[in-house]
Structure 1
Amino acid sequence: DVTQWFTESFRAEFEKQADQIGRINLAVFGKTGVGKSTLVNAIFGEPVAVTGIGAPVTIGSHLYLDKRGALGVVDTRGLELGHDDDQIIKELTKAIKESRGKPVSEQIHVAWYCIRGMDRRFEDFEERFIRTLDSLGLPVLVVLTQVPMRDGMFHPDAVELARQIEAKGLPIVGGRPFMTYAMRDQFSGQPAYGLVEVLGATFQVAPEAVKGALVAAQAIDVELKATQSHKAIAAAVTAAAAAAAIPIPFSSAAVLVPIQLSMMARIAQLHGLGLDKSALLAVASTSVATSAGRAAASSLLKFIPGAGSVVGGVINASVASSFTLAMGQAWLVVCQKAFNKTLPGVAGKIDGEAVKRLFEEELAKRLPHIRQRS
């Protein structure tokens, strides 16, 4: 059964891509009540820091790592900054040193130090804590939370606090705090802001090996997901051209299937789509892609000398890359709509036929380029 084979193949590739993307582990520090949980939840799109995101792994007496797919959040439990700094630093130092010999997904990658923007005071212990994080090799973002803004102007008290912090010359990302308001205030109407800037700065300093994990885990920057998806498409296009450059019998797009499966799984992972939903969407979409691939290859046979002597014909490298590009771009549209929850559905479930039509329409917009280049 072709559908069953494709589904199983896609699932295997999806798991493979999950392993390749790995997990970004983010350490979040700050006094109780500064809004750490609200900030994390706003950027990663779920009540991560409230309910927990899995079984927490103890990495110290009071230091825990909660895991959820591509995201890990490191926090302290039962200790309070300003009172238990030495104990937290001791546990953190031990955890970081022990993790350096482990796989990259088990290491701590970036730290956020959160301060309530209206607290008006930056204390000595906070400076010492931030400098210690830097000495441990962690890039540190200082985030001012709950900062009111009106007419594009930050509250003067938060501006003064930021000035005090900047004057310290701390080893922090960007050399300055990031002003944020994580969640719209229903009473005052204060809108959320600053989250994309925090995410972008985190992306810039995260290790290359876990950038994909950060893109997959975050839920606020669609353009960042698109940019990384286009890189996956470009890699697949290059691989498809290289595969087709060697005369290989082309039968039912078989040469391109492994390459395209990898591309599709990567894009689905980057959009944070679950395995079951991704597989359903892939099956709905690819029947069109496979038939289009056969048609594209067949149309080329008359232009390729001796093609008739090769069983199934031979695919042109230009067509292989062009078709893979078209398929990747069409699949990206499907994943974007799934991420934005704008796919058509019936009785609360995804409408497979509608997904097929969407993919077909998007692919049709791009297939003329294949015919022109052939």
Structure 2
Amino acid sequence: MTQWFTDAFRAEFEKQAAQIGRFNLAIFGKTGVGKSTLINAIFGQNVAATGIGDPVTLDAHLYLDTRGTLGLIDTRGLEIGRDDGELIKEVTKYVKQMRSKPVHEQIHVAWYCVRGMDRRFEEVEATFIKTLHDLGIPVLLVFTQVPMREGQYHPDAVELARQVEAKQLPIIGGRPFMTYAMRDQFTGQPPHGLMDVLQATFHVVPEAVHAALAAAQTIDLEAKAKAAQRHIGATVAAAGAAAAVPIPFSSAALLVPLQLGMMGRIAHLYQLPFDKAALLAVASTSVATTLGRTAAANALKFLPGAGSVAGGVINASVASGFTLATGQAWLTVCQKAAGGQLPKLNGVVDTKAVRDMFESEFRKRMPTIRHKQD
């Protein structure tokens, strides 16, 4: 039974990965402006510092690194201000080639990074930004390493921003986004501005990659939760429509793929690898099966002779309620897992504690189920 479940969960887990696709971010800027630090701060420590896979060469100096739901497109060996013509040629060639490809293969947004304290923004940088815009790529201009004190940005960065805004460049919001990516241990300068950059990115990328962006980023937990809730809602509706058979999780052939797909989607949103997600899913659904049978039995008790039209209505109701409770309980498990908050026993995840956690959350949302002593 466990092997069957693991295989079925793997199939749905992989299917969800394909459906979520990939969010592709092009990041540009001069050497040393802090591009890697910015990427690491928003998408996870050491993503950019160590690379995120074997890079795919898009052209002589243009590369795509991928890991799951995140793709990073950048340049190597070219410097803005020195190799502008070559860089523009390669980016233009790639964008034109990708226009006929699926959406997850395209560049969805570009972040052009400038060190906010450099006091200088060159005309070649403005030209490059205009080129990206003309190619149909939304551009966020990000000022990096901008100190802030008592809610005020450093005057040098403010002055540079004023100069840039006067150029009326085709950038999102018409202004630079002031950021400081990582806390400075020496000065105590805290990070700021990251959420503004991320939210602006959500606003301009295609809706088709919102789930991939929600999964890839690590700073906006509310965005992950909202994406999970949307998918739970869609699965609940589908479960109600599909319910023409009794509800038990182990026997409802139409409902099992829906529910496993829902669990796989939420696991991806919280960046849980398959092995860990499968371990948690086995622990959780072992109790879900029993609770599902109880829910169906409790509902049918109130319908004498249920089994025809009325029985079908009850089955749809129970299917929806059971799927909702499963989704919400599984979301809690995934959130705890992503936050490193799952109980452990001898250094490994305590599956019994996970099972108890899932059952507790499930019962909160499936009130017709009672403890044996009730």
Given the alignment, which residue of 233, 245, 251 partners 1:248? 245
Q: State the 1:314 CA deviation.
A: 7.9
Q: Aligned equivalents of 2:340 and 2:352: distance in 1?
A: 17
The answer on whether the counterparts of 2:142 and 2:176 sit within 8 Å (CA) in structure 1 is yes
Matches within 5 A, 1:41-120: 41-120=40-119
- CA gap of 1:309–1:163, structure 2 versus 1, over 3 A, is closer
Q: Tell me if 1:13 matches 2:17.
A: no
Question: Which residue pairs with 1:344 in the alignment?
Answer: 343
Distance in 2 separating the partners of 1:228 and 1:112: 24
Q: CA deviation at 1:250?
A: 4.2
TM-score, scaled relative to structure 1: 0.94
RMSD: 1.8
Q: 2:198 matched to 1:199?
A: yes
Corresponding residue of 1:134: 133
| Aligned amino acid, residue 21 of structure 2 | G
Give CA deviations for 1:318-346 in whole Å, capped at 9, x if unaligned: 22212211111111111111111111122
8 Å contact kept, 1:301–1:313:
no
Structure 1 moving runs of 4+ over 6 Å: none
TM-score by length of 2: 0.94
AA matched with 2:33: V
- Which AA in structure 2 matches 1:292? L
- 1:351, distance to aligned residue in structure 2 (A): 1.4
Alignment check: 8 A CA contact 2:53 2:67 kept? yes
1:316 CA drift (Å): 2.6
Query: In structure 1, how many angstroms separate the alpha carbons of the residues matched to 2:257 and 2:75?
Result: 43
Deviations 1:350-372 (A, max 9, x none): 1111111111111121111679x
Structure 2 equivalent of residue 157 of structure 1: 156
Superposition deviation, residue 74 in structure 1? 0.7
Give the Cα separation in 2 of the matches to 1:91 and 1:346. Answer: 53
Superimposed CA distance per residue, residues 264-307 of structure 1 (whole angstroms, 9 cap, x where no aligned partner): 11111111111111111111111111111110001122223433
- Which residue matches 2:280? 281
1:228 lines up with 2:227 in the alignment: yes
Tell me whether 145-154 or 96-105 shows the greater mean CA deviation. Answer: 96-105
Aligned AA for 1:178? F
Moved more, 362-371 or 191-200: 362-371
Structure 2 counterpart of 1:357, which letter?
D
Instruction: Please give the alpha-carbon distance, in whole angstroms, between the structure 1 residues aligned to 2:27 and 2:56.
Output: 16
Count of equivalent residues: 367
Q: Which residue of 1 aligns with 2:291?
A: 292
Q: Structure 1 residues 156, 296: CA separation in 2 closer, same or farther (over 3 Å shift)?
A: same
* Maintained 8 Å contact 2:298/2:368: no
CA distance in 1 between counterparts of 2:345 and 2:195 reads 33
Distance 2:308 2:72 in 1: 59
Aligned to 2:266: 267
- The whole-number CA distance in structure 1 between the counterparts of 2:158 and 2:131 is 25
Is 1:329 the counterpart of 2:328? The answer is yes
Deviations 1:200-258 (A, max 9, x none): 111111112211111111111111100100001100111111112xx434454514322
Return the offset for 1:313. Answer: 8.9
Gaps of 5+ in 2: none
Q: Report what 1:180 is aligned to.
A: 179
SS in 2 for 1:113: strand
**What amino acid is the match of 2:8?**
S
Distance across 1 between alignment mates of 2:346 and 2:83: 52
